[in-house]
């Protein structure tokens, strides 16, 4: 069985996913693309030599009966409308993070999906498929460091564009930690507070950078997460879990250790594309395989997207108020507990 993908958004990650589905993975084929920038869609079809129809918009692409899966890789604020329309048409959806930029938006997707009576959506929280995070989760689950007490994490990008503002740090960047950290320790979030350290000279006027998020869980773990998106020196993801009996740290991305010119050095990556390359491959292969096997995707669900968005809304509020803001979720519908997710 070959799953036929229609891609909405042929920018950076859209092209990455098109390339992996076409040239690296098995069981998927790109049959349609669209982008508000039609030149980008055309160029993508040419670059990857796709046998794909170019549609003027997402609605026309969703209506194509040859499209089984809608791959949503447009800008975050555009996701909700496309995902709801695709789900209402009964199509499978792989949606890059964030599922929607607000909890209310995610809830509309959850409701549309439950109406279809079948799980259709997977969210691109690829860190759950990263070997390092999986090893860290295993160490914690095996009780090798005792009860987790604190987490120190950092998400650093070398630089960002002019349209990346203070809230984007939450909705586009911190959202990865929001998803992966509670999954790591199997706990739910309770509160968040934000501190703005002195601003780097490298950030533009509409972006406060860096930012420090202090997130408490229901179980009492305190997580300290730095987001610094103009750190200049590279793309660097750090995570250290402090437990009662020891400390467990996310492995560094492997790199050759060099002794040269009186220096001992290892390289640091500079792009998310390389840091999580394997994880992206595994998550999309898993999406394809689980649909082929059980008829439903088995990765992060719309409900995971909702949990992340509730937390992200609270983080944005905390940026604005400077206060400790509550994070409160609605009760998980049975629809999302019935499925045994392989990566949960």
Binding region for ligand NAI (CB under 6 A): 8-14, 34-37, 40, 58, 73-76, 78, 96-97, 124, 126, 172, 272, 276
Q: Which of 219, 210, 233 is nearest to 181 (CA)?
A: 219
Q: Are 145 and 139 in contact (CB under 8 A)?
A: yes
Q: Are 299 and 14 in contact (CB under 8 A)?
A: no
Closest-approach residue to ligand NAI (CB): 11
> Of the ranges 172-180, 181-189, 283-291, 298-306, which one interacts with ligand ISE (CB under 6 A)?
172-180
C-alpha–C-alpha distance, residues 280 and 125, integer Å: 9
Q: Phi and psi at residue 25, in whole multiples of 5°? A: -95, 175
Where residue 246 falls (left for φ over 0; alpha for ψ -120 to 50; beta otherwise) is left
Minimum CB distance to ligand NAI smaller for 8 or for 310? 8
Q: Binding partner of residue 157 among ligand NAI, ligand ISE, none, CB under 5 to 8 Å per kind?
A: ligand ISE
CB of 101 to ligand NAI, least distance (A): 9
Residue found by looking up tokens 């409900």 in the block: 303
The DSSP-derived string for 238-290 is EEEEEESS-EEEPPPPP---EEETTEEE------HHHHTHHHHHHHHHHHHHH
Minimum CB distance to ligand ISE smaller for 31 or for 153? 153
Pairing of strands 222-228, 236-243: unpaired
Q: Is the peptide bond before 98 cis (omega within 30 degrees of 0)?
A: yes
Residue found by looking up tokens 């959806």 in the block: 93
Site string for ligand ISE, 118-157 (x = CB under 6 A): ---------------------------------------x
The number of beta carbons lying within 10 Å of the beta carbon of residue 104 is 13
Q: Binding partner of residue 299 among ligand NAI, ligand ISE, none, CB under 5 to 8 Å per kind?
A: none
Tokens at 27, concatenated:
């069981």
CB of 90 to ligand NAI, least distance (A): 20
CB of 61 to ligand ISE, least distance (A): 22
CB of 36 to ligand NAI, least distance (A): 4
Minimum CB distance to ligand NAI smaller for 145 or for 239? 239
Site string for ligand ISE, 257-276 (x = CB under 6 A): ---------------x----
Site string for ligand ISE, 184-223 (x = CB under 6 A): ----------------------------------------
CA 11 centroid distance within chain: 16
CB of 165 to ligand ISE, least distance (A): 12
Minimum CB distance to ligand ISE smaller for 235 or for 303? 235
Minimum CB distance to ligand NAI smaller for 12 or for 329? 12
CB of 75 to ligand NAI, least distance (A): 4
Total number of residues that touch ligand ISE (CB under 6 A): 6
Q: Binding partner of residue 74 among ligand NAI, ligand ISE, none, CB under 5 to 8 Å per kind?
A: ligand NAI
The count of residues in the chain is 344
Describe the crossing of helices 302-321 and 103-116 by its angle, rounded to 10 degrees: 170
106 to 97, 109, 122, 242, 344: CA distances (angstroms): 11, 5, 12, 32, 20
CB of 319 to ligand ISE, least distance (A): 16
- Residues binding ligand ISE (CB under 6 A): 157, 172-173, 176, 229, 272
């Amino acid at each position: 069985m070959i799953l036929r993908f229609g891609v909405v958004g042929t920018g950076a990650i859209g092209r990455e996913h098109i390339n992996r589905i076409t040239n690296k993975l098995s069981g998927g084929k790109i049959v349609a693309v669209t982008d508000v920038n039609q030149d980008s869609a055309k160029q993508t079809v040419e670059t990857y030599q796709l046998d794909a129809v170019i549609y003027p918009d997402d609605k026309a692409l969703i209506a194509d009966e040859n499209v089984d899966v809608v791959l949503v890789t447009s800008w975050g604020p555009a996701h909700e409308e496309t995902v709801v329309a695709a789900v209402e048409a009964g199509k499978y959806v792989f949606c890059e993070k964030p599922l929607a930029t607000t909890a209310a938006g995610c809830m509309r997707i959850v409701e549309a999906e439950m109406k279809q009576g079948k799980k259709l959506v997977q969210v691109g929280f690829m860190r759950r498929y990263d070997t390092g995070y999986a090893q860290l989760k295993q160490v914690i689950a095996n009780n090798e460091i005792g009860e987790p007490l604190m987490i120190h994490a950092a998400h650093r990008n070398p630089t960002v564009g002019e349209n990346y503002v203070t809230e984007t740090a939450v909705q586009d960047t911190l959202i990865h930690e929001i998803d992966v950290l509670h999954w790591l320790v199997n706990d739910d979030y309770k509160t968040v507070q934000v501190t703005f350290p002195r601003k780097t000279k490298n950030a533009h006027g509409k972006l406060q950078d860096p930012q420090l998020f202090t997130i408490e869980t229901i179980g009492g773990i305190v997580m300290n997460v730095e987001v610094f998106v103009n750190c200049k020196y590279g793309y660097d993801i750090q995570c250290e879990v402090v437990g009662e009996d020891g400390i467990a740290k996310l492995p560094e991305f492997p790199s050759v250790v060099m002794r040269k010119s009186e220096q001992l050095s290892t390289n640091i990556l500079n792009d998310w594309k390389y840091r999580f390359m394997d994880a992206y491959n595994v998550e999309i292969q898993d999406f394809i395989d689980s649909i082929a096997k059980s008829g439903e995707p088995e990765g992060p669900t719309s409900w995971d997207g909702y949990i992340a968005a509730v937390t992200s809304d609270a983080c944005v509020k905390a940026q604005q108020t400077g206060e400790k803001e509550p994070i409160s979720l609605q009760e998980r519908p049975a629809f999302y507990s019935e499925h045994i997710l392989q990566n949960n």
